Amino acid sequence: MMENVSVVTLFNLSGLNFTLEKRLILFLLTLLWYLMILLGNVALIVAIIVDKNLHEPMYIFLCNLCINALYGTVGFYPKFLLDLLSSHVISYAGCMLQGFVIHSSVCGDFSILALMAYDRYLAICQPLVYHSFMTKQRVSIFVLFCWLLPLYCMFMNTATLLGSRLCGSNIHRIYCVNWMIATLACSPPKANTAVAYFNILFYFGHFVFIFWSYMYLIRTCISSRENRGKFMQTCLPHLITLITFTTTVLLDLLYMRFGSPDLSQDLNNFMAMEFLIIPPAVNPLIYGYKLTKIRNKFLNLGHIKRRDAKCQPMNFHINSELSN
């Protein structure tokens, strides 16, 4: 594919230059990991939807966090698995769409985590007004904004790239990133730079709010054994999720913008994939283990299945005796 062209219809993802043997191994490992992500998040979503006892704000927000994880990973894993078995090129429209989905999912995670932090602040620090404030209508509005804001921010980011003259078609990543497309522009669009930094500052504000909320909660809970128990059960998973997700996103962001080109391609790929590998798979395990109601839900399901399995041979034996 020729460089120094103004009309680019295909991008080459140069981060996928692996041998055939390495691709096959990576394909199998990635497929297994993606299936685990799907299973964990879908199981949590179904458990929350089916059990009416889990129709509380905290679990509704958690359900949306899992849905957002599925939304973000579907923008990466299917295309990545396909690229491992075929040519690693992507159309201009597909590249824009992939960048939009992955980036809006990242921003969506911050919005939902901020809402979860606010929910825990009200539940622990303002328990008397919690139920009167967190009504179904308000929860619905909060959830709606958690989806609309990231989609709008990333739409504006993507829209400012459309129509830019590109002087290259080689993306040194394993998936499309708006920032990398902007670097290929013959003259980097100022509007895109302004929108990108606004989005970064806007969601950094989300992180500051979340961090401040949990620091305030920790200080409040230290003096009360009851509040300390609530924090360990409901807030600790959120805090672990926040630290894991923010660390992986921040490492990728810093490496993409300030990283050295001398580092190996494998390290580059791992840094780019971290937030798509660790949080979507780890979050269901953290919440499933730490949140008592969800853990009991799965334990009860397991207990019922074992009881049914024990009852089936007994019923068969009884029916056989009756038939005789």
E strands within the chain?
10-13, 89-91, 170-171
52 DSSP assignment? G
54-61's contacts with Cβ under 8 Å and 24+ in sequence apart are 54/293, 54/294, 54/297, 57/119, 57/134, 57/139, 58/116, 58/119, 58/120, 58/123, 58/234, 59/291, 59/293, 59/294, 60/139, 60/143, 61/112, 61/115, 61/116, 61/119, 61/142, 61/143
What domains are there in the chain, each with its CATH number? 19-313 (1.20.1070.10)
Q: Are 176 and 96 in contact (CB under 8 A)?
A: yes
Q: Are 85 and 27 in contact (CB under 8 A)?
A: yes
Summarize pLDDT for 207-217 with one digit per residue, the tens: 899 888 888 88
pLDDT tens for the chain, 324 residues: list them: 444 445 677 888 877 777 778 888 989 999 999 999 999 999 899 888 988 888 889 889 999 999 999 999 999 999 999 988 887 888 888 989 999 999 999 999 999 999 998 998 888 888 888 989 999 999 999 999 999 999 999 999 988 888 778 888 888 888 888 888 888 888 777 888 889 889 989 998 998 998 888 888 887 777 766 666 666 666 777 777 888 888 888 877 777 766 666 667 777 778 788 888 888 988 888 776 656 666 666 666 555 555 555 555 544 443 444 344
Q: Are 293 and 54 in contact (CB under 8 A)?
A: yes
Q: CA 140 → CA 57, 97, 145, 149, 272, distances in Å?
A: 9, 27, 9, 14, 33
d(Cα 31, Cα 321) in Å, to the nearest integer? Answer: 49
Q: Are 163 and 144 in contact (CB under 8 A)?
A: no
